[in-house]
Amino acid sequence: MNPTPAPLPVPLDATSAAPAPVVVLGGGYAGLAAALRLSRSQPVVLVDATGTFSERIRLHEAAAGRPAPVIPLTELTAGRDITHVTGRAVALDPARRTIHLDDGRALAFRTLVYALGSTTDTVAVPGAVEHASTLEHADELHRRLAAEAGTVAVVGGGPTGIELAAELAEAHPRWTVELVTGRPPGSGLSPRARHHVAATLARLGVRVRTGSRVTAVHPGGLSTTGGDVAADVVVWAASFTVPDLAARAGLAVDVRGRVLVDRTLRSLSHPDILAVGDAAAVTVPGVGELRMACATAMPTGAHAASVIEAMTRGRQPAPLRFRFLGQAIGLGRRDGVFQPTRADDAPHGPILTGRPAAHVNAWINRYTLAMLRAERRRPGTYRWARPWRDHPASPQTTPRREDVQTAHRVAR
């Protein structure tokens, strides 16, 4: 029988009681994986701004009108010793081990899992905040596209932009879809995979504009280094950014604001804080720096839980072991491409295309949610790909001087 959730271990007043043993900040793929696995050995407080879990890897489907459910966190954690706190963190005080929320409450912790993830970066280009849609508001985008007709420009030639352009072209034939990107779509894929992506986008009627950098977004479309692009709707899918909470708190971060961690995912400057998912700059020997993705978020979240359990028992925590296996990109409902990769995410071997690749992509999406549900039923169930052999490297346990300086620069 699953344990009944305990009352909140600490009132939301950091000065009035003992701190919660573990607080997980963020309820996305990484944070939820960490909280579920940790709940097998100790109570957990899960803090999230919305109280819901969104299948982010399926938001392009929601923009095209396909159901991409938003699930209450209480449903995904039912029966576990996890207490939910709904609120947005506005400040983090590592010295006092306190999180301040937007409603004035404060939450104390002994160990923190920092899992705030990332959002679409619309700040870097003038006008993008005011005039571009993002997949964070996929339902609103779908309602507009369903009610009108015209030209929609998707900015970004990575997997998100490719999947979105293909879905919109297939689901909204009254709209002309343009994909605006500096490099050819799928530039990290093999030549054969890139050719299939290009051919499929052309078959779907997507106009691809490459070789230009977007300099501004305005009500009538885009300004680029190669000229203006007229569009009734602009959807930004070009880059991601992380919250500046860690940098403002003085944690060691990289130039993008991601928390610098050692091989056990502990902060280089504050070892009682672990960072996971998109919010962490994680480097694995033989693999390199992990890219922002669900495929890296869940393994880092689950591993952070194992690290905390080891430290709680007085054991030496093990370093993260991880390798990539492949990239799956959906190209509408009946096509796709699956690119096998080496451990370091470099394309390798024959690819899978067409309906078989579409089925693989859909299976991966279902598997991700299924593994979170499996962790709820039996924490420790989820597994991920690991290297056949480890590369010799010792975990870093102390911050480097240049890392701390980086944190100060970003904080300013």
Q: How far apart are CA 126 and CA 129, in angstroms?
A: 8
Tokens of 22: 């573990």
CA dihedral sign, ordered 301, 306, 307, 313: positive
SS (H, E, C) 156-176: CCCHHHHHHHHHHHHHCCCCE
- Res 391: pLDDT: 62
Supply angle C-alpha 230, 234, 238, rounded to 5: 115
> Rounded to whole angstroms, how far apart are CA atoms 83 and 23?
10
pLDDT of the residue at 388? 79
Helices (H), 215-293: 245-248
Q: Is 316 helix (H, G, I), strand (E, B) or coil?
A: coil
pLDDT at 254: 97
Instruction: Locate 380 and state its tokens.
Output: 């420790």
Domain match, 381 and 290 both: yes
At residue 18, the pLDDT reads 54
pLDDT the model gives residue 300: 98
Would 1 be classed as within a structural domain? no
What pLDDT shows up at residue 4?
Answer: 33
Considering the domain boundaries, does residue 392 fall inside one?
yes
Report the CATH number that the domain containing residue 276 is assigned in CATH: 3.50.50.60
Q: Which segments in the chain show pLDDT lower than 70?
A: 1-20, 391-412
Read off the pLDDT of residues 106-123 as tens digits, 9 standing for 90 and up: 999 999 999 999 999 999
Q: What is the pLDDT of residue 287?
A: 95
Range of the domain at 165: 128-239
Domain count, the chain: 3
* Residue 412 to residue 408: CA distance in whole angstroms: 6
Say yes or no: 63 and 110 in one domain. yes
Burial class of residue 83 in the structure, from the number of CB atoms within 10 Å of its CB (0-12 exposed, 13-18 middle, 19+ buried):
buried
Beta bridge partners of 100: 91, 106
Same domain, 230 and 249: no
Question: Are residues 123 and 129 in contact, defined by beta-carbon separation less than 8 angstroms?
Answer: yes
